[in-house]
Amino acid sequence: MNTIYDELRAALFSIWQRRWTALAVAWGVCLLGWLIVALVPNGYESRARIFVQLDDPLAEQIGVGVGDRRRDIDRVRETLTSAVNLEKIVRSTRLGDDVTSPKQLEAAVLALGKNIKVVSTQDNLFQITAISNRGSLGDAENARLAQDIVAKMIDIFREENLAGSRGEMSQTITFMNQQLSDRQKQLEAAEQQRLAFEAKHPELSQGGASLLQRLEASRAELRGIDADLAAAQSALASISGQLAGTPPTLTVAGPAGGARGALAQAQADLAAMHSRGLTDNHPDVIAARNQVAALKAQVAADGNASGGVPNPAYSSLQSIRADREASVQALQTRRAAVQSDLAQITSQQIANPEVAAEAQRISRDYDVLKQQYDKLLQDREQLRLRGQVESEHNAVKFQVIDPPTTPRAPVAPNRPLLLVGVLVVGLAAGVGAAFGVGQLRSTFATTARLEQALGLPVLGAISQTLTTAGRELRRRKRTWFVAASASLGGLFVLLLLIEFVERQTVA
């Protein structure tokens, strides 16, 4: 432990003996470091936040969904820092003042790309950040330039979503108009060809319809008639079955029902007598039985001609059956007429196969062109409506919730920390230089080190004795050393004050 203590004392003594060397090295290192720190330009950062509203019922009604608009926003955000957009920023701000060649422009674009960030903090919230640290500009100018860059980024963000989509929509509509014009010319040519063919062969055209159209229409109509006829025949069979199981007349007890009604009344009276306990030998029962027998004979003699009242359900079913029979008859008549038309059209095809084929080809070409033209016309109107909604109604709405901020303090470099670091490095370099110089010289600071080096015992040491003039000279040198050291610290404090004052004067 004593050895370590002695070594520490010896090192401190060696440094103190060469304190002027340490102070000179510290001054040199600090001046050089502070000069380098002063040459590093301050970087000022400006920020802005944009809110994008994607929900719009009108836009969704015409097919512009939230997903489509979100993809457009993401595409713009990803391409916002492209070379083309960065070049626009360079040319429209002070970044382009010193640009005189394409190479300088490329370098400015690359440097700007490293200082711009576009971050999506939420689904509908975007943050734009820009840093300006040009050495040729002052702090206030760099702060203003950072704010201008962010403002220009917001303008480009808006233009890419509004003007860009309008330009794409305009180009698309122009292309659709050109295609419609071409299809219209082809359709007019096909129409003229069809009219000329119909004028030459009127027997193959009827009511403006071609032979193929008439054939397809007749076949479709025949299929519909067959389905209706099958349904009508099934309904007729059903009503006929119901009519067969319904009696035409109803039996009514009493005189109003005729012989059958009287028979039913007599049988009811006989049953009532039996229920009262009268025997078959009772005179009333015998009389009733004789009456029932007589009425049965009368009913048997009359057969189906007598008795009952008309059944209203039977009459209603007969009326329904007559209507359904008329419907079946009408469908059968229509079916025969359509079959006759099909036979006529088929005979025309057989009689003039080449002319019929030509008629089918002309009609088919015209129908295809007509369908294409109608589809293109519908698509163009939808695109036009969509473009009007996006441009006039502004389906994607922007709101700058935080405008570009005006930087009050630099974000880089941390100059106070760098100044402190340079001071610490300078002091360490001075102490290290003094210690190194002491190690190079062959002197001994203590008797112990001398004994260790020679291997012989040291009997004594002579202390230094100064005269009055020597002590005065030493005092003055110490005063000069303290003043030089204090000057170094004062310069450090002065630089810190200058830095804070410059920060306050930026705004």
DSSP 191-259: HHHHHHHHHH-GGG-BTTB-HHHHHHHHHHHHHHHHHHHHHHHHHHHHHHHHHHTS-SEE--SSGGGHH
Beta bridge partners of 120: 126
506, two tokens: 């930026």
Is 47 in a helix, a strand, or coil?
Answer: strand
408, two tokens: 């009050």
In terms of C-beta density within 10 A (0-12 exposed, 13-18 middle, 19 or more buried), how is residue 152 classed?
buried
The single-letter code of the amino acid at 471 is: R
Distance between CA atoms of residues 292 and 306, nearest Å: 17
182, two tokens: 């071409």
Low-confidence ranges of the chain (pLDDT < 50): 57-66, 163-164, 207-208, 253-254, 304-307, 394-395
Query: By the 8 A CB rule, do 54 and 105 touch?
Result: no
pLDDT of residue 209: 53
Among 218, 202, 204, 207, smallest CA distance to 353 is for: 204
pLDDT of residue 446: 66
Among 198, 207, 218, smallest CA distance to 363 is for: 198
Among 143, 130, 124, 127, smallest CA distance to 69 is for: 124
Residues in CB range of 343: below 8 A, 6 or more apart:
none
Give domain 44-162+394-402's CATH architecture: 2-Layer Sandwich (3.30)
pLDDT of residue 112: 87
What pTM was computed for the model? 0.48
Q: How many CB atoms lie within 10 A of CB 293?
A: 11
pLDDT of residue 62: 47
The single-letter code of the amino acid at 22 is: A
The torsion of the CA quartet 346, 351, 354, 357, rounded to 10 degrees, works out to -10
Query: By the 8 A CB rule, do 376 and 179 touch?
Result: yes
> Where, residue-wise, is CATH 3.30.1890 in the chain?
44-162+394-402
Would you give the DSSP letter of residue 461?
-
Sign of CA dihedral 399, 403, 404, 409: negative
Q: How many CB atoms lie within 10 A of CB 280?
A: 9
Is 129 in a helix, a strand, or coil?
Answer: strand
447, two tokens: 């008797």
Backbone angles phi, psi at 311, to 5 degrees: -85, 115
The owner of tokens 């000022």 is 44
Residues in CB range of 261: below 8 A, 6 or more apart:
251, 252, 253, 254, 255, 307, 308
460, two tokens: 């004594």
The CA-based angle 164-170-175, given to 5 degrees, is 130
Q: CA distances (Å), 416 to each of 37, 131, 147, 422, 490, in order?
A: 10, 20, 24, 10, 15
Residues in CB range of 236: below 8 A, 6 or more apart:
321, 324, 325, 328
Distance between CA atoms of residues 32 and 220, nearest Å: 99
